[in-house]
Amino acid sequence: MIRRHKLSAAVVACMGLALPAFAQEAVTHAFDGSFDDATFAVESAIVGRGLVIDYVSHTGEMMNRTGADVGSDVVIFDNADIFLFCSAVVSRKVMEADPMNIAHCPYSIFVTEKDGEVLIGHRTYPDGPMQEVQALLDSIVVEAAGD
């Protein structure tokens, strides 16, 4: 199942993304399996395309660890990881079209778990050259989710 979600400013900030003047949206796919299986599927789909994962942000752990420090007992996610990576081929193409597309790099795919529901997703990108990045992320997420 594909869903579109608005990302809160807090989630966008945790993803290391700049906050534009408009709300970010995310495309998510349900994953039929465990969080660990979903993160393995995402990693395999990224690496299987010859791409290198630069960093995995364990955002869920950070949010759970720091909740009390900021005066909150809300559990946002049971688990949440964000995979950051780039594609030299696609990045060059979109940055040759507009050097300011550097603002969208690196790209990210997230895996979340809340109340037993595991989702895999990515943010949406603006119309134009960045749709090639969105297509790449869509293909990775669809493969990882088994859709």
Q: Write out the residue range of the structural domain in which residue 46 sits.
A: 33-145
Q: Is 87 left (phi over 0), alpha (psi -120 to 50) or beta?
A: beta
DSSP label of 7 = P
- Domain assignment present for residue 9? The answer is no
Residue 25 lies in a domain: no
CATH number, domain containing residue 69:
3.30.310.70
In a domain, 41, yes or no: yes
Average pLDDT over residues 14-37: 74
Confidence class for position 23, pLDDT limits 50, 70, 90: low
Q: Which residue has better confidence, 51 or 9?
A: 51
Going 23 to 29 to 31 to 32, the CA torsion angle's sign is: positive
Average pLDDT over residues 6-23: 46
How many C-beta atoms surround the C-beta of residue 11 within 10 A?
22
* Number of structural domains found in the chain: 1
In whole angstroms, what is the distance from residue 135 CA to residue 39 CA? 20
- List the end-to-end C-alpha distance of the chain, in Å, as a whole number: 8
DSSP 3-state of 88: helix
Judge if pTM exceeds 0.85.
no
- Specify the pLDDT at position 134: 96
Q: What is the pLDDT of residue 147?
A: 82
127 phi and psi angles, rounded to 5 deg: -60, 160
19 within domain boundaries: no
